[in-house]
């Protein structure tokens, strides 16, 4: 079955052909906003597997940057306007979603819900002001399994001039690839696995490289920004050969930085580490994955030069982001059940379908990114507090992501350490959690599993804030 219904796509292209969605472009010019970065979605090729080059890799390209294939790290500043013009040089529609950024709804990148499809040859102007500093990421919200699986996942760094200074920064974009031995793409998923934990890739990479090595000053302090952008893999990360503290999770500073031992991160999640490099030149530390039966190395850090003799205690805490705390005395409670479903209906859309339905939220299976008229899970009143009482009634983990709003995990039955406010919670099998939020950003906000096969086979829904 086609990932994208060609006939539907052509009809829609004809209907909207030639339109260049201006989005915020006119407003940007009127308001003296920054010139947009030109972000071109296009095909490229790169050597990811050992056996050969991968053709038809998708990437984002900033004007002027030659491609290693890895989408550029986009740098923004907390509280300052940022503009990007997406140009679509693919052969199918796309959009950009800015994962974790609490920005205006019209810039959220969800086709049908917040913006038109961006057809090949067309563009869309994004303009927004990120309110929070930290590590975030960007990806399409159209034919998402195929487009993300083909390479459209990039990291965003929102800088804050008040952040403590480090001796170096290393950004790691972690993901897998479904490639054969000669490097060509294979089927993006197996239906049998989509109905379980998800389909894993065959090649594991950081920044599109197998076990890359990064140099950093010996005895120096490095800010390592890690984003798990794979469509399926859950990592349990740990460090060998050096000490590190976890300083932020999913963009938000942790109140009390703690030593990295083993930390689970699911698709969509981020970790910021303060890493103290080994003392001696040429000494190495490795970031490893300990989930599964045999640990493996994600990336290596090699010490260079004379020791800077720094100490992890030299680093001041990161300033907090302005996330409102829910008023629990008035918060209405909303039950949310994640389940499997026996329902068989499949909706097709310009943004593709996997052709199966396996999952549901509150008994409704919906893949998102489709024109189907589904009701929101709940209509939230602007400014009011809510507690989502979410229950994972499945034997699989689900990284559940909420667009446009951050929430605080008040309690959960499968964990003792609670994260700072977040946009994605990795719900463990049979986990139940209470998620508190203030509905302070108006619009329709998607709420879905970030194992993309789960999302696209039914585990998606949305809230309406008005």
Residues in contact with Cu ion by the rule CB under 5 A: 398, 449, 451, 454
CB-CB contact of 129 with 49 (8 Å): no
From the CB of 459, what's the least distance to Cu ion, in Å? 5
Q: What is the C-alpha to C-alpha distance for residues 145 and 122, in angstroms, rounded to an integer?
A: 22
127: its two tokens: 């303009």
Q: Work out how close the CB of 451 gets to Cu ion at its nearest, in angstroms, rounded to a whole number.
A: 4
Place of tokens 């446009």: 404
Nearest to Cu ion of 144, 207 (CB atom): 144
234 or 242, CB closer to Cu ion? Answer: 234
CB of 153 to Cu ion, least distance (A): 17
Which residue, 318 or 340, is less far from Cu ion as judged by CB? 340
Nearer to Cu ion, 137 or 208 (CB): 137
Considering the complex, what minimum distance in angstroms separates the CB of residue 399 from Cu ion?
Answer: 7
Question: Helix, strand or coil for residue 207?
Answer: coil
If the CB atoms of residues 139 and 454 are measured against Cu ion, the closer one turns out to be: 454
Which of residues 315 and 425 has its CB atom nearest to Cu ion in the complex?
425
Q: How far is the CB of 297 from Cu ion (least distance, A)?
A: 27
Sign of the CA dihedral running 276, 278, 283, 289: negative
Burial call 232-252: b when 16+ CB within 10 Å, e when fewer? bbbbebbbeebebbbbbbbbb
CA dihedral (391, 396, 401, 407) in degrees, to 10, reads 40
Residues with Cβ within 8 Å of residue 334, at least 6 apart in sequence: 377, 378, 386, 387, 388, 389
Would you say 398 or 456 has its CB closer to Cu ion? 398
The helix, strand and coil proportions of the chain, stated in percent and rounded to the nearest 5, come to: 10, 45, 50
For residues 194-203, one letter each, b for 16 or more C-beta atoms within 10 angstroms of the residue's C-beta and e for the rest, the string is bbebbbbbeb
Distance, CA of 181 to chain centre: 28
Least distance between Cu ion and beta carbon 339 (Å): 11
Given the complex with Cu ion, which of 310 and 454 has the nearer CB atom?
Answer: 454
Judged by CB, which is closer to Cu ion: 225, or 448? Answer: 448
Residues in the chain: 466
Query: In degrees, to the nearest 5, what angle opens at C-alpha 294 toward C-alphas 288 and 300?
Result: 20
Q: Half-sphere exposure of 203 toward its Cβ, with a 13 Å CA cutoff?
A: 29
- Closest contact distance (angstroms) between CB of 148 and Cu ion is 15
Minimum CB separation of residue 387 from Cu ion in Å reads: 22
* Residue environment code for 136-156, b if the CB has 16+ CB neighbours within 10 A, otherwise e: bbbbbbbbbbbbbbbbbbbbb
- Output the smallest distance, CB 456 to Cu ion, in A: 10
């Amino acid at each position: 079955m086609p990932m994208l219904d060609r006939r539907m796509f052509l009809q829609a292209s004809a209907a909207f052909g030639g339109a260049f969605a201006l989005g915020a472009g006119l407003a940007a010019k009127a308001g003296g906003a920054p010139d947009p970065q030109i972000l071109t979605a296009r095909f490229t090729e790169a050597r990811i597997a050992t056996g050969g080059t991968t053709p038809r890799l998708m990437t984002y390209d900033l004007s002027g940057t030659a491609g290693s294939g890895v989408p550029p790290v986009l740098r923004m500043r907390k509280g300052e306007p940022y503009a990007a013009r997406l140009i679509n040089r693919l052969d199918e529609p796309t959009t950009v979603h800015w994962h974790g950024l609490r920005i205006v709804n019209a810039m959220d990148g969800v086709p049908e819900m917040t913006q038109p499809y961006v057809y090949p040859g067309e563009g869309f102007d994004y303009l927004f002001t990120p309110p929070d500093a930290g590590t975030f990421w960007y990806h399409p919200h159209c034919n998402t399994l195929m487009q993300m699986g083909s390479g459209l996942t990039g990291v965003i760094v929102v800088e804050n001039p008040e952040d403590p200074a480090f001796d170096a920064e290393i950004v790691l974009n972690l993901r897998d690839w479904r490639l054969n031995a000669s490097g060509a793409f294979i089927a993006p998923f197996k239906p049998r696995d989509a109905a379980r934990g998800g389909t894993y890739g065959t090649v594991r990479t950081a920044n599109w490289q197998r076990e890359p090595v990064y140099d950093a000053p010996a005895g120096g302090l490095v800010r390592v920004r890690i984003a798990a952008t794979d469509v399926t893999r859950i990592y349990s990360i740990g460090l060998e050969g050096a000490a590190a503290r976890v300083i932020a999770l999913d963009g938000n500073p942790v109140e009390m930085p703690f030593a990295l031992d083993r930390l689970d991160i699911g698709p969509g999640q981020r970790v910021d580490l303060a890493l103290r490099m080994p003392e001696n030149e040429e000494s190495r530390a490795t970031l490893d994955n300990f989930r599964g039966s045999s640990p493996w190395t994600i990336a290596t850090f090699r010490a260079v030069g004379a020791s800077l003799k720094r100490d992890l205690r030299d680093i001041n805490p990161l300033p907090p982001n302005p996330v409102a705390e829910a008023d629990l005395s008035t918060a209405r409670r909303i039950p949310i059940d994640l389940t499997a479903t026996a329902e068989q209906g499949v909706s097709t859309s310009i943004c593709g379908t996997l052709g199966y339905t396996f999952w549901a939220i509150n008994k409704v299976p919906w893949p998102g990114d489709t024109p189907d008229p589904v009701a929101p899970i709940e209509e939230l009143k602007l400014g009011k507090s809510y507690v989502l009482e979410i229950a994972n009634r499945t034997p699989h983990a689900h990284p559940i992501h909420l667009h446009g709003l951050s929430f605080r995990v008040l309690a959960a039955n499968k964990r003792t350490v609670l994260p700072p406010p977040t946009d994605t919670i990795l719900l463990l099998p049979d986990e139940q959690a209470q998620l508190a939020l203030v509905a302070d950003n108006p619009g329709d906000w998607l709420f879905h599993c970030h194992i993309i096969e789960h999302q696209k086979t039914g585990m998606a829904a949305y809230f309406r804030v008005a």
